[in-house]
Structure 1
Amino acid sequence: MRILLTAAPMYGHVLPLVPISWALRSAGHEVLLVAPGEFPDVAAGAGLPAAANAGGVSMGGMIGFERDGTPAARPADPEGRVRRSGRGFGRLAAHVLERTVRIAELWRPDLVVSEPTEYAGRLVAAHLGLPWVEHGWGLRLSGLYAEAAEQELAPELAALGLPGLPAPRLLLDPCPPRLQLPGVPAAPVRRVRYLPYNGPAPVPSWVHRPRERPRVCVTLGSAFPAVRSELLAALPEALHGAGVETVLATGDDAPAGPLPESVRAVGWLPLDTVLPACDLVVHHGGPGTAMTSLVHGLPQLVLPYYLSDTTVYAQRLAELGAGRWLPPERADAAGVADGVRALLADRGARGAAAGLAEEIAGLPSPAEAVPVLEDVVRKERAACVR
């Protein structure tokens, strides 16, 4: 069986497809992961065959500008921001569609698996008469994303003779049931365990050393660089005063100058190698960070900056008692330090996070999802014979 996997050009969209790809290859199937720009190299770093369906693509550009180059309006309301993002992912699909079709025609897959915001894969599947499966990364996305993408893709849909975006045959859902948002999914759901893959790197030696203070990991994503840099500059002293050891997993924007002895700036590191040695995570609300933190049973302090679906993760974790969140107007160094103190003292938060970790561990592994995907292809072939 040959499986074509498609993703948008962002780490949080490509990396969640790695574990199911490993499982498929281990079962003897062929996979090909397709994404724009440098992301085939990211997939190759995980040991996966990969191909580019476009050159380098800026998702900020796709979302921020219409096809004719004019700036896309910036709505103030949350629903408008979601629709703006959805149209941006629709423009991405239009941009990569021709090349994705060509790759699929040459490689001849039996099944297409796409992440939730990659829309070219599902169009290719419909065009070639193939089944496609959606592989989630956490909380179910608002239907407004696909609705807006479908509007943006009206010319491409018409050219392919499709009335709208096709529905998946199956949803692979890695979100623990208690965390998942309510609502009726667009297809049958198969639960699958969230298996973190955050990239390749050796495990640092300090991870295995005993810690004298509670250890807090701080990672703030790549959005709002000015706000993030200002906060990161003030956080080391504030968290030192809070009595914790801090791991700044913040890439190239770590604070300049000397840091308190309790603060370790580690640059970019795969979170799955760092979090087993931490007691708490402070982050921006990205799905990969939130889900990886839950796998390790860690309470989370989320600073979402009202970006995309990050606020949804922040609110959902707080509702379940596994974390707290600070709106942008309260997310200064003092507010973060206070939130860290409160969460470290909150036994209920630790218990709630541990409970969700147990729920994740009890879900079927990616390897157990492989026969389900095989069955999708088997049924498709039987239907074609009839």
Structure 2
Amino acid sequence: MSDILFVTWDGGGNVPPATAIARELVARGHTVRFLGHAAQVAALEEEGVEVVRGRHARAYSRFDRYSPLTMMAVFGDRGMGRDLLEETSVRRYDLVVIDCLMVGALAAAREAGLRYAVLEHLYDAYFRRTILGGPMGLNLRLRRLAPQRSLEDAAVRLVTSLPELDPVPDPPANLRQVGPVVPLSAPATQGGDPTVLVSLSTFGYPGMTAALQRLVDATRDLDARVVVTTGPAVDPADIRAPRGTEVHRFVPHAELMPGLSLFVGHGGHGSTMTALGHDLPLVLMPMDGLADQPGVADSVERAGAGRRVAKKASPADLAPVLAAMLADGPHRAAAARLGAAVRAQPGAILGADALEVALDGSVTPGGRPPR
């Protein structure tokens, strides 16, 4: 069996795909460790994974004040790369799996000749066009981090998106679109009282409390049970909720999804794919125009499974959209079709398969040894 190191960062939705694939690898007998930001050590240890504590990565937490300049510094941080090289100098790893946004660590692995894989936990189209093809990519290239070359030299690139929503024409030889890596229980059940879940990002985006309040206000006249989760970035006490509306800091989405009728989110890749995997239509309010959220929301709307709304939309504008998506209609069939596609691609299993092939080519799909 192999020793594998995952390099991640404290971004919120980027972590669950990595830990899910890691758990699948551990179940197959591999040893897995994680290297990330100090702020996420406790959460990673709660996931049951062994964590390597680095010394050089810049201090960062997703609850810090957000700015594009901060994110450029985090993504291009060579300190994370130094931590990676220090760890691989004292412990032998057969493969390093690096978050696609940790470009400083990718450059370090490539320059050192390590065998590494890239985990793309978002739409490949967004990653290539908006990040690498935009100001962020220019900044990374000017810093001589050569992000495109790091992708080309990877043993494998795991893209955890749904091909129908994120088509990859003419994929490079090392790219594997394994499907969303999301927690799934069962598709949403029909019957019973309609239930709506309103939940925005765990990331501390500016203006998120006000946006969440406008969404809650827009649910006031819905004929449905309304559950709101604020996440760690918003204090539940700051939300004025109508009588009967439940407001929680955190409730596991996978526990709520089977009984939901509608999911209202921010267009994050993970929460959106989880909702679709439960056949749920969506109303999506992107919190950051530079992130992948607008693209995810637009793709869901084009597929007929939901609606994108503006971050500053008023409750009066939001209310009819919520009512329409809560009602029956073709959007439910579209969501169910996408849900079937999500469930047909078990991303954690297929991702682990691809990593094992990158290690030594000794397994067949599903993690089974060859006969």
- Name the structure 1 match of 2:367: none
- Name the structure 2 match of 1:324: 307
Amino acid of the residue matched to residue 112 of structure 1?
V
Distance 2:89 2:66 in 1: 26
| 1:145-160 equivalence runs, <5 A | 145-146=131-132, 148-149=136-137, 151-152=139-140, 157=145
- Name the structure 2 match of 1:377: 359
Distance 2:159 2:148 in 1: 26
Quickly say closer, same or farther: Cα 1:170–1:164, change in 2 above 3 A: closer
Quickly say closer, same or farther: Cα 1:186–1:36, change in 2 above 3 A: farther
| CA displacement, residues 73-92 of structure 1 (integer Å, 9 cap, x when unaligned) | xxxxxxxxxxxx5x34443x
In structure 1, runs of 5+ residues without a counterpart are 67-84, 381-386
Of 267, 290, 293, which residue of structure 2 is paired with 1:310?
293
Distance 2:267 2:309 in 1: 11
- Name the structure 2 match of 1:79: none
Quickly say closer, same or farther: Cα 1:220–1:122, change in 2 above 3 A: same
Amino acid of the residue matched to residue 323 of structure 1?
G
Q: Is residue 127 of structure 2 the alignment partner of residue 142 of structure 1?
A: yes
- Percent identity for Structure 1 against Structure 2: 23
Quickly say closer, same or farther: Cα 1:318–1:190, change in 2 above 3 A: same
Quickly say closer, same or farther: Cα 1:309–1:157, change in 2 above 3 A: closer
- Name the structure 1 match of 2:344: 362
Amino acid of the residue matched to residue 78 of structure 2?
A
Of 212, 215, 222, which residue of structure 2 is paired with 1:242?
222
CA contact (8 A) 1:37 1:56 kept: yes
| CA displacement, residues 205-229 of structure 1 (integer Å, 9 cap, x when unaligned) | xxx9998641111012256766332
- Cα deviation, residue 138, structure 1: 3.6
Distance 1:65 1:176 in 2: 30
TM-score by length of 1: 0.79
- Name the structure 1 match of 2:40: 39
Q: Is residue 89 of structure 2 the alignment partner of residue 105 of structure 1?
A: yes
In structure 2, runs of 5+ residues without a counterpart are 363-371
**RMSD of aligned Cα (Å):** 3.3
- Name the structure 2 match of 1:218: 198
Quickly say closer, same or farther: Cα 1:260–1:328, change in 2 above 3 A: closer
- Cα deviation, residue 61, structure 1: 6.5
Quickly say closer, same or farther: Cα 1:169–1:333, change in 2 above 3 A: same
CA contact (8 A) 1:104 1:124 kept: no
Number of equivalenced pairs: 348
CA contact (8 A) 2:122 2:161 kept: yes
CA contact (8 A) 2:104 2:145 kept: no
- Cα deviation, residue 235, structure 1: 4.1
Distance 2:201 2:59 in 1: 20
SS for the counterpart of 2:88 is helix
Q: Is residue 293 of structure 2 the alignment partner of residue 293 of structure 1?
A: no
Report which stretch shifted further, 188-197 or 9-18.
Answer: 188-197
Amino acid of the residue matched to residue 354 of structure 1?
A
CA contact (8 A) 2:8 2:102 kept: yes
CA contact (8 A) 1:240 1:262 kept: no
- Cα deviation, residue 23, structure 1: 0.9
| CA displacement, residues 183-236 of structure 1 (integer Å, 9 cap, x when unaligned) | 4444433343434259xxxx9xxxx99986411110122567663323434544
Q: Could you say which structure has the higher helix fraction?
A: 1
- Cα deviation, residue 30, structure 1: 0.9
Report which stretch shifted further, 219-228 or 350-359.
Answer: 219-228
CA contact (8 A) 1:32 1:48 kept: yes
CA contact (8 A) 2:82 2:108 kept: no
Distance 2:98 2:86 in 1: 17
CA contact (8 A) 2:60 2:74 kept: no
Q: Is residue 54 of structure 2 the alignment partner of residue 57 of structure 1?
A: no
- Name the structure 2 match of 1:228: 208
SS for the counterpart of 2:5 is strand
Quickly say closer, same or farther: Cα 1:7–1:186, change in 2 above 3 A: farther
- Cα deviation, residue 52, structure 1: 3.0
Distance 2:262 2:21 in 1: 28
CA contact (8 A) 2:81 2:108 kept: yes
Distance 2:214 2:65 in 1: 31
